[in-house]
Structure 1
Amino acid sequence: MRLFLDCEFNGFGGELISLALVDENNQSFYEVLACQNPIPWVVEHVIPILNQTPISLEAFQKQLQKFLNLYDAIEIIADWPEDFALFSRCLIVSAGRCLSLPPLKMQLWMQESNAKVASQQPHNALADAQALKLSYTIQ
């Protein structure tokens, strides 16, 4: 199953704030983590539209594992490399331990901006993942 990924994070190289995955059938995962010291841009453009209360990293990882294990195999598609880095960090539970998942592939898909479906709510990971899915499927 293809899953379309988007993340919001605290500035370039910053910590994960929210992560969304939308599958080909429009089933979705969307969770939010607390951001301790958001940069001003994040305070203005991301925090107000999270539309969800932050949860702990442990709860986040449990929910993520539960969602990903709905599938026999998954292909994560993202349009920005940092989304993969943030997603991958979420899979790590502790030294030498990671979430148990089905077989996983990743695809970086960078479409032309004029072929991109506009997000209904830019800088909201769920809305952006939905727009990525639409952009990918109409290519």
Structure 2
Amino acid sequence: MNLFLDCEFNGFGGELISMALVDEHGLFFYEVLECPTPVEWVKQNVLPITQKAPVSYSVFQQRLHDYLLQYEQINIIADWPEDLALFSRSLILAAGRCMITPPLTMQLWLEQRTTAVLSEQPHYALADAKALQQSYLSL
């Protein structure tokens, strides 16, 4: 199953704030994490539109795990490398321990830059992931 990924993070290279995954049929995962010291841009443009109360990182990981387990095979599609990096880091549970997932591949899809469906609400990870899904499936 193709899962379309978008993340919001606290400035360039910053910590994860929110993650959304949307499958080909529209079933989605969306969670928000605490961001105690947001950079000014994030404070003004991301945090006001998260539309969900933050959860702890352990709850976030458990919900992500539950979402991923419903698929037999997963292909994560993102349009930005940092999204893939943040997703990968979220699979790490502790030193030497990672989340068990179905077989998983990742794809950096940059073609959408010329054929993109515009997000209904930029910088809201769920809307951005849905726009990526629509762009990809429209080809």
Normalising by structure 2, we get a TM-score of: 0.98
For each residue in 1:33-79, what CA deviation from the matched residue of structure 2 results, as whole angstroms up to 9, or x when unmatched? 00011000001100000000000000000000000000000000000
C-alpha displacement of 1:114? 3.6
Where 1:59 maps in the other structure, the secondary structure is: helix
Moved more, 29-38 or 106-115: 106-115
C-alpha displacement of 1:112? 4.9
Q: Are 2:105 and 1:105 equivalent residues in the alignment?
A: yes
C-alpha displacement of 1:111? 2.0
Equivalent residue for 1:127?
127
Separation of aligned partners in 1, 2:19 and 2:80: 13
Separation of aligned partners in 2, 1:112 and 1:101: 27
Where 1:37 maps in the other structure, the secondary structure is: coil
Separation of aligned partners in 2, 1:113 and 1:61: 30
Letter of the 2:9 partner, please give it: F
For each residue in 1:87-134, what CA deviation from the matched residue of structure 2 results, as whole angstroms up to 9, or x when unmatched? 011000000001111000000000253411000010000000000000
Moved more, 113-122 or 5-14: 113-122
Equivalent residue for 2:27?
27
Separation of aligned partners in 2, 1:115 and 1:9: 25
Letter of the 2:106 partner, please give it: M
Where 1:13 maps in the other structure, the secondary structure is: coil
Alignment check: 8 A CA contact 2:79 2:112 kept: no
Separation of aligned partners in 2, 1:87 and 1:67: 13
Equivalent residue for 2:115?
115
Separation of aligned partners in 1, 2:114 and 2:90: 32
In the alignment, structure 2 segments of 5+ residues that lack a partner are none
C-alpha displacement of 1:12? 0.3
**Residues 55 and 112 of structure 1, relative CA distance in 2, 3 Å threshold:** closer
Q: Are 2:126 and 1:95 equivalent residues in the alignment?
A: no
Letter of the 1:61 partner, please give it: Q
Name the % identity. 59
Equivalent residue for 2:7?
7
What is the aligned-residue RMSD (CA, Å)?
0.7
Equivalent residue for 1:61?
61
Normalising by structure 1, we get a TM-score of: 0.98
Letter of the 1:66 partner, please give it: D
Equivalent residue for 2:39?
39
